[in-house]
């Protein structure tokens, strides 16, 4: 599929809200002709999701923008109102009064909230840890469980409440904590496909398996734009460019929710992590991102604009800081940019105990099983809620949060209007997701266990693996012949836990096999039965499958002095180390000395400065973190499917080049977009 060219100039208009160069003008009013302040006015070339220009209406409702062209549209948005779209009329300068009509959904919210107490509204703002549904004196708005935890019958109590308690999980590459689920490649692999239609289908498949497992809230997609390979979360993003995050992030939302929430199978998706999580200095997870406002708006904001335009219902705040300000308490960005400039009218949710994290910026928390802090400090809550945070993810401190919220409202530190606004946003999302009208969920999908790991979904995941593989080097080794004798070996050849990566059967992933997944070795037997031999001595070609072990968040950060030719290994979840590839290189040379050709398949969540390893191999294939369908690797290596994957990141030649990204003037070992075929 051709990938649209969205150059940096397409995003340049996001650098500022301007009222200069009055090419077109007008006034935004409501149905009583009263002026509407801070309505978001954009000029767009539909159906593109990124505005050509934008501004806000002033306190008199007036706006002015630069010249618009024939074929473009003026789109006006304001929370609580239906959007209004006008075609640009060539030569017309003043569009007079543009009237916004109140969204009928607001009447429904009014009727629900009229029966709610302050306790009810604060409870809606609270996301506790499942199986809890009680928050203070009322019913929680949501509950979640972290990686590795899943309560299959939680829905039975949660969804029977008057306002259903939505159940959230990090289904970032499938419902991967549920046994026998389809596990798709992590986002970095999907970025290598450049296939938005494929990503949309994956979004739908994940939604179908979520409903089958009684999960209705997804903490995905991550639309980060990772810039530093030392960061332990590079694989969460689609790639190093804004274009990939815009195109593929919006596609995933469309797959999960339909076109602006019209899909029967729709779930609540969450754009994350707002904002700048892939830009931290030195690649430190939860660190500080030093950047200008122009860079933030050009590189990191457009994926959120695209996701909001596509109808995303939730946005998650980030643990990192931007220029020293923790993103859970940054009102200028949460309320000023996201809610006002982008007119996002869903809810903003904290990350795991992220409110309290704002008191210790940069620190990585200890999420060991059984640890309960039980604390959400009042100052942190006040700052976060007043900054625009609507739902508190407080699995370890829900009761503390509720108690503190009531006290803060009573004292006037948080206004009741702010609480009502947060509650409205949460109810708005629940109504749009169908959770109020149909608390039990769509009957065609809820509890349909045959959808979990279905043949159709596994074939889709296999296609994603096929399209994600990137061939970096090939000295007449590939494609393999089914008549050849091939020895498949290496740490990652026959271990599905290693090939799936983190957020699979646990937060940090697993070193064990994943139920119903197909290993890369087993895929060889499926695709070319009889070609694989038991020893190297019997083989013509050796396929050496090695790579990183699973890691999540800061556990994957590289914070040492020399990243060259090293791959992350670990003995236990919190015992991480980076080991040299020297032993792998020695093994490759030994095989070659014996007359064998060696093709290396690298399982990795990021580009690695392993130039010596690449140089040693006769062929080098990057399989990223392919997920449960390992046969997709063999499909490509045997030439059953033509390799089409392209690098979603610049591949560094040396660790000293990191960070290295397209357009920075550095020449890596392989450029962004590189990928061989045959």
Buried b (16+ CB within 10 A) or exposed e, 143-182: bbbbbbebbeebbebbbeeebbbbbbbbbbbbbbbbeebb
Report the alpha-carbon distance of residue 309 to residue 227 in Å, rounded: 25
Query: 359 vs 160, 298, 321, 381, CA distance in Å?
Result: 37, 29, 12, 10
Coil/strand/helix, residue 473: strand
H or E stretch covering 619: strand 619-624
β-bridge mates for residue 579, sequence order: 567
d(CA 239, CA 649): 6
Q: Which two tokens stand for residue 330?
A: 């940054």
* CA–CA distances in Å: residue 126 to residues 236, 349, 391, 457: 26, 10, 6, 34
C-beta atoms surrounding 529 within 10 Å = 9
CB 611 within 8 A of CB 585: no
Q: Which pairs with CB-CB distance under 8 Å and at least 24 residues apart come from 83-90?
A: 85/46, 88/24, 88/43
Give CA torsion, residues 396, 398, 400, 402, to 10 deg: 170
In three-state secondary structure terms, 231 is coil
Q: How many residues does the chain have?
A: 678
**Taking the CB of residue 515, how many other CB atoms lie within 10 A of it?**
13
H-type alpha helices, 73-153: 104-113, 118-124
Element (DSSP H or E) covering residue 392: strand 392-393
Catalytic residue ranges: 351, 553
Q: How far apart are CA 323 and CA 570, in angstroms?
A: 33
What is the rounded distance in angstroms from the CA atom of residue 267 to the CA atom of residue 261?
A: 9
3-class SS string, 317-334: ECCCEECCEECCCCHHHH
Q: What is the C-alpha separation between 658 and 363, in angstroms, rounded?
A: 23
Q: How many Cα atoms occupy the beta-carbon half-sphere of 586 within 13 Å?
A: 4
Which are the contacts of 595, defined by CB distance < 8 A and separation ≥ 6?
A: none
C-alpha 162/C-alpha 429 separation (Å) is 16
Backbone angles phi, psi at 33, to 5 degrees: 70, 15
């Amino acid at each position: 599929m051709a990938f649209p060219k969205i150059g940096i100039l397409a995003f340049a208009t996001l650098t500022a809200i301007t009222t200069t160069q009055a090419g077109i003008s007008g006034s935004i009013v409501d149905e009583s002709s009263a002026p509407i302040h801070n309505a978001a006015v954009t000029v767009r070339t539909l159906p593109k999701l990124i505005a050509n220009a934008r501004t806000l209406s002033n306190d008199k409702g007036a706006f002015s923008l630069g010249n618009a062209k024939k074929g473009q549209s003026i789109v006006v948005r304001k929370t609580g109102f239906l959007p209004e779209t006008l075609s640009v009329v060539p030569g017309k300068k003043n569009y007079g009064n543009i009237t916004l009509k109140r969204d009928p959904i607001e009447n429904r919210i009014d009727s629900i909230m009229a029966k709610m107490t302050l306790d009810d509204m604060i409870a809606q703002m609270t996301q506790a840890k499942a199986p809890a549904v009680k928050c203070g004196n009322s019913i929680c708005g949501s509950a979640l469980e972290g990686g590795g935890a899943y309560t299959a019958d939680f829905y039975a109590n949660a969804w029977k409440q008057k306002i259903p308690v939505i159940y959230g999980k990090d289904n970032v590459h499938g419902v991967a904590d549920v046994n026998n689920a389809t596990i798709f490649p992590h986002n970095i692999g999907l970025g290598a496909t450049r296939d938005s239609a494929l990503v949309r289908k994956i979004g739908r498949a994940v939604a179908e398996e979520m409903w089958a497992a009684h999960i209705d809230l997804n903490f995905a997609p991550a639309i980060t734009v990772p810039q530093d390979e030392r960061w332990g979360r590079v694989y969460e993003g689609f790639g190093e460019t804004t274009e990939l995050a815009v195109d593929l992030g919006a596609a995933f939302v469309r797959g999960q929710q339909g076109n602006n929430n019209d899909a029967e199978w729709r779930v609540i998706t969450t754009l994350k992590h707002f904002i700048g999580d892939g830009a931290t200095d030195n690649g430190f997870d939860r660190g500080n991102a030093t950047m200008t406002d122009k860079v933030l708006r050009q590189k990191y904001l457009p994926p959120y604009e695209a996701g909001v335009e596509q109808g995303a219902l939730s946005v998650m705040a980030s643990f990192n800081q931007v220029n020293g300000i923790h993103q859970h308490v940054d009102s200028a960005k949460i309320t000023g940019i996201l809610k006002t400039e982008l007119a996002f009218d869903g809810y903003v949710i904290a990350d795991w105990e992220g409110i309290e994290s704002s008191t210790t910026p940069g620190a990585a928390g200890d999420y060991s099983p059984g640890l309960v802090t039980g604390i959400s400090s009042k100052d942190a809550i006040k700052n976060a809620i007043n900054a625009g945070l609507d739902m508190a993810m407080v699995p370890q401190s829900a009761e503390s949060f509720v108690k503190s919220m009531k006290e803060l409202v009573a004292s006037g530190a948080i206004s009741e209007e702010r609480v009502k606004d947060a509650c409205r946003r949460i109810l708005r999302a629940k109504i749009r997701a169908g959770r109020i009208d149909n608390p039990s969920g769509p009957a065609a999908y809820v509890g349909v266990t045959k959808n979990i790991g279905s043949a159709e979904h596994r074939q889709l995941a296999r296609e994603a693996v096929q399209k994600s593989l990137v061939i970096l080097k090939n000295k007449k080794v590939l494609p393999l012949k089914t008549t050849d004798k091939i020895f498949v070996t290496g740490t990652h050849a026959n271990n599905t836990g290693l090939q799936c990566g983190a957020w699979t059967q646990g937060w940090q992933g697993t070193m064990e096999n994943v139920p119903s997944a197909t290993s890369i070795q087993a895929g060889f037997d499926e695709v070319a039965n009889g070609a694989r031999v038991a020893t190297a001595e019997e083989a013509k070609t050796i396929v050496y499958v090695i790579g990183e072990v699973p890691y999540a968040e800061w556990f994957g950060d590289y914070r040492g002095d020399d990243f060259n030719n090293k791959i992350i290994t670990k003995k236990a979840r919190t015992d991480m180390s980076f080991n040299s590839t020297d032993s792998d290189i020695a093994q490759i040379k030994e095989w070659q000395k014996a007359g064998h050709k060696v093709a290396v398949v690298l399982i990795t969540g990021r580009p690695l400065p392993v130039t010596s390893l690449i140089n040693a191999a006769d062929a080098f294939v990057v399989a990223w973190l392919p997920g449960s369908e390992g046969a997709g690797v063999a499909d490509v290596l045997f030439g059953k499917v033509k390799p089409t994957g392209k690098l979603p990141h610049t591949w560094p030649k040396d660790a000293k080049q990191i960070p290295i990204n397209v357009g920075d003037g550095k020449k890596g070992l392989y450029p962004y977009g590189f990928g061989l075929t045959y």
